[in-house]
């Protein structure tokens, strides 16, 4: 949700129209829900062999594939009902969002950093939000798109630390496996890139200094997380570190609003 909200705020130079805000909050929930179904459907055979995921409804057999497809169709129908409320250009961009959500679960079979595909899928929401606000796509939107990719690589690498041994055993590709003991350097690097891109997006949108102060606070917090990864982290710790990134999105969002309004 947060990349779309960042985009709406930057595009509006402040608080976005309530109508667009509501559409993209609802759309984020619906498309993320659809993406979860796609992911669990594609990974059901893998999930049975991973301690953390073997209790998922499809992996455990609690739900059938027919159930999953019906639920997926329901969420995609809701998403379609939301997107027709937008302008024609944004409607044309919407099938790409569905395609990216469908590709992500397959990426871990092909590329060593599938987290980048996750970021592309989430970042496309920022492109659509900008388009819905302005009627076209401008440079700040692409900066937010790239920042979202970097952010996802960082926080999802932390998330993937939970499954590193299971992923190695069953042959699933993951940035946590690729980076190995250098994960803290990789995570720190992508977080730095994220902050630089967010700063560039704000500069292009002529935002106020409070936004950069918020980015500095976020940067200090991200550095702390990266340094924490120099030591072996337990599964509960990795999951807690991952969950904390909701506050990163919140801090950037509040900083953007304050940067325009104060």
Read off the DSSP letter of residue 230.
T
Better-scored residue on pLDDT, 189 or 58: 189
- Residues 212-228 have pLDDT tens digits of 999 999 999 999 999 99
Give the pLDDT of residue 31. Answer: 93
Give the pLDDT of residue 167. Answer: 72
| Residue 151 contacts residue 194 (beta carbons within 8 Å) | yes
Task: Collapse the DSSP code of 2 into the 3-class scheme (helix H, G, I; strand E, B; otherwise coil) and give the result.
Answer: helix
Give the pLDDT of residue 164. Answer: 81
Locate the domains of the chain by residue range.
2-261
The CATH number of the domain covering residues in 2-261: 1.10.357.140
- Residues 56-91 have pLDDT tens digits of 888 888 888 899 999 999 999 999 999 999 999 999
The highest-confidence range among 35-49, 151-165, 196-210, 225-239, by mean pLDDT, is: 196-210
Q: How many C-beta atoms lie closer than 10 Å to residue 55's C-beta?
A: 11
Sign of the dihedral defined by the CA atoms of residues 122, 218, 174, 62, in that order = negative
Give the pLDDT of residue 124. Answer: 96
**CA-based nearest residue to 105, from 172, 175, 179:** 172
Count Cβ atoms within 10 A of the Cβ of residue 58 and give its class: 0-12 exposed, 13-18 middle, 19 or more buried. Answer: buried
**CA-based nearest residue to 241, from 155, 183, 163, 114:** 155
Question: Following CA atoms 27, 28, 31, 35 in sequence, which dihedral angle do they give, to the nearest 10 degrees?
Answer: 180
Give the pLDDT of residue 262. Answer: 83
- Residues 103-159 have pLDDT tens digits of 988 888 888 898 999 999 999 999 999 999 999 999 999 999 999 999 999 999 999
Q: Which of 22-31, 102-111, 149-158, 232-241 has the lowest mean pLDDT?
A: 102-111
| Residue 58 contacts residue 65 (beta carbons within 8 Å) | yes
């Amino acid at each position: 949700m947060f990349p779309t909200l960042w985009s709406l705020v930057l595009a509006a130079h402040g608080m976005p129209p309530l109508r667009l805000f509501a559409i993209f909050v609802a759309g984020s929930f619906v498309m993320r829900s659809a993406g979860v179904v796609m992911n669990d459907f594609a990974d059901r055979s893998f999930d049975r062999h991973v301690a953390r995921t073997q209790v998922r409804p499809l992996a455990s057999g609690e739900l059938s594939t027919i159930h999953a497809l019906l639920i997926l169709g329901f969420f995609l129908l809701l998403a379609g009902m939301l997107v027709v409320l937008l302008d024609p250009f944004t409607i044309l961009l919407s099938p790409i969002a569905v395609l990216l959500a469908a590709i992500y679960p397959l990426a871990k079979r092909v590329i060593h950093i599938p987290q980048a595909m996750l970021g592309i899928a989430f970042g496309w929401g920022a492109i659509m939000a900008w388009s819905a606000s302005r009627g076209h796509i401008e440079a700040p939107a692409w900066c937010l798109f790239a920042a979202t990719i970097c952010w996802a690589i960082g926080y999802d690498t932390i998330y993937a630390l939970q499954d590193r041994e299971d992923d190695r055993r069953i042959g699933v590709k993951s940035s946590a496996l690729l980076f190995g003991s250098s994960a803290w350097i990789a995570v720190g690097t992508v977080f730095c890139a994220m902050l630089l891109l967010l700063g560039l997006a704000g500069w292009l949108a002529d935002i106020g200094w409070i936004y950069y102060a918020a980015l500095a606070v976020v940067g200090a917090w991200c550095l702390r997380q990266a340094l924490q990864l120099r030591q072996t982290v337990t599964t509960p710790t990795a999951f807690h570190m991952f969950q904390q990134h909701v506050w990163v999105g919140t801090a950037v969002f509040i900083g953007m609003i304050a940067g325009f309004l104060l």
